[in-house]
Each structure stands twice: as C-alpha cells, then as structure tokens.
Amino acid sequence: MKRISFLGAGSWGTALAVMLAKHGHQVILWSKVKEEVSMLQEYREHKDRLPGVKLPELVEVTDDLEKACDAPDLVVFSVASPFVRSTAREASPLIGEGQKIVNVAKGIEEASLKTLRDILLEEIPQADVSVLSGPSHAEEVAVDMPTTVVVGSAGKETAIFIQEIFMNDNFRVYISPDIIGIELGGSVKNVIALAAGICDGLGYGDNTKAALITRGVAEITRLGTAMGASMETMGGLSGIGDLIVTCTSEHSRNHNAGALIGKGYSLEQALQEVKQVVEGVYSAKAVKKLSEKYQVSMPIVEQTCKVLFEGVTAQEAVHALFTRDRCKEYPDLGWKK
C-alpha cells in the first residue's frame, strides 16, 4: 500500500483517486473549493462530475493542503491547467526534497509558453516531477473501462515507480523518457479537438473529421519535433491516441465546446454550457505563439484561434483551410523521375 495525495478533486483527479483506492492504496483527495469538499465528504461521490461513482473507504477528502502534502509516497497534481501554477506555489513550502510528483493535467501557459511540468519545476524545484497522459476520459476510468496511458519521467526508476502504482488489470501504463513529447501531444490535441467539435457543430461528416484528425497529427508532430520531441511519441498514446479520443468522444469537453461554437454559440456561451474547464481554450494562444516561435506551420491551430478570439466565423475558418495554396502531403518525399 502506498500513500497517494491528489491535489485537485475534479473529474480526473477523483476518477484516479477512486481507481487507486480500489487497488489498496491510501488516498488523500484535496480540493481548495469548500463546496466540493463538503459534497464529497457528505455524499462520497462527485455528484457534478462523476454521479454514481462512490469513493472507497480508503479515500479521505480534505481541504487541508498541509495534510495532503505531508510526505506521501506520491503527489498527483490533478488541478485544471489554469490553476497549476497557483496551486504549486501554495504547496511548495509544504513539499519535501525529492518528493515524487506526477502531473495529470494538460496545457501550456500562455504568458510563459511553459509546459505544466516546467511550471511545477519552477515553483517546486525540490521535487521530482513526471507526467501522465493518454486517451483516458475520467468517466470511463472511474468505472474500470480498459484504458492505456504513458508516464514520462526524467529517470527510469521514477517512471517504473509510478507505473507500478497506477497499473492494474484495466489500466495499462507504459513509460517513456520523452516528457516534452508527451506534454505537447496532450496539450495541442485539445486545440485540435475544439476544431473537430466546430466541424461537427457545422454539420460536417466523417470525411471532414478524418481529415482534421490526420492533419492535426501533422501539426502536432511538426511542433513536437521542432521542440525536441520524438516522432514516435507523436504517433503514440499521448499523441494520436489522445487526439482521436478527444476529437470523437461524447465525454470530451473540448469537442463539446467546439460543437456548440459550430452551432453558433459564442465562446462565453459555450463555456457556460459545458460547465467545466475547457483546457484547449487556455492553450490555444500559447500553441499558436509556439508555432510562430519555432516557425512551424499550424493552420488548424491558427484558424481555431481566429474563431475563438478574433470574431472569424466557423464557416470562414473552414473556407480558409480548404483554399490554402496547393502543396505536397509530406514535403520531404520526392519522385524518382
């Protein structure tokens, strides 16, 4: 049995906490939101995010950050991406030297263009920070549907330690040293998923969705390799795997927000309707800035930003994508004749 602390009790943190407690780990589930803590303590379920999923006895819910950070075997950062820095700053004085942390949120900070792991290392430099990502909706993990993810760590020993904690008969965990590739795949796919949702909201079909996902992979791969990621990671669980599930699933808040925008909702109206943090909205400008910094072509990301923030209509964005200059699918491939 390990003692695991979760900082963040949204749907993803709660689902993982439930899973680990079912497999015998002692879990502390922390939230800063008093109403959320009271609900979880009283009803032993997250009625807003995971109705019907009961917290096992091994899950203790608290709003005491000092208690949550008091020398657990592993700290899981499961707050939504916009709150990672503020939570890390608050927790840092309470976290010991060499504390193992795994971040399970996905995003890029717009102001700094830092990944979430970079933010954690900046705010908690004494910690050993890893990441976990992949096609893994909380609603399915919470009810033990077979799911596969990848853990990225700077050291193999830490990667194996986290793998052993999370892996069970229904939750398969791979390990990788390619942290930047894992983080970029998990962050950029949210922006592509917004675009996929917009296309669905416009009433387009399977051809459009397949094209968008495929060209989305190309954009993620171009940025990832420019930033030092492995091309294999882009084609793996945290790349194409996470992209597929986020672009197609009914559970995807990014896809659902995009679909509402495609139907004519404003960004603000779509976010109010989804009622959860839509991380692709918070990452979109940052991804666009990274594409400019690394001189990488990302037309889907560019047009998605125009729809979200510049008043361009969804129809205009699709037209702009389809009327770009003609080009080769893979520029490095040539003819023998």
Which DSSP string do the residues of 113-175 spell out, in sequence order? --BHHHHHHHH-TTSEEEEEESS--HHHHTTT--EEEEEE-SSHHHHHHHHHHH-BTTEEEEE
What gap in Å lies between CA 16 and CA 52, rounded to an integer?
15
Catalytic residue, chosen from 106, 114, 189, 285, is 189
Token pair 């939504």: residue: 80
Could you confirm whether 306 is annotated as catalytic? no
Identify whether the C-beta of residue 51 lies closer than 8 Å to the C-beta of residue 113: no
- Strands 147-152 and 128-133, bridge-based pairing: antiparallel
What gap in Å lies between CA 183 and CA 283, rounded to an integer?
12
Tokens of 227: 């930033």
* Nearest CA among 20, 60, 21, 57 for reference residue 37: 60
Q: Which amino acid, 20?
A: L
CA R_g for the chain: 20
What gap in Å lies between CA 199 and CA 206, rounded to an integer?
10
Tokens of 125: 């430099």
Q: Report the Cα–Cα distance between both ends of the chain, in Å, rounded.
A: 64
Identify whether the C-beta of residue 143 lies closer than 8 Å to the C-beta of residue 116: no
Q: How far is CA 63 from CA 5, 39, 112, 163, in A?
A: 12, 12, 29, 27
The enclosing H or E element of 10 equals: none
Instruction: Please identify every residue annotated as catalytic.
Output: 189
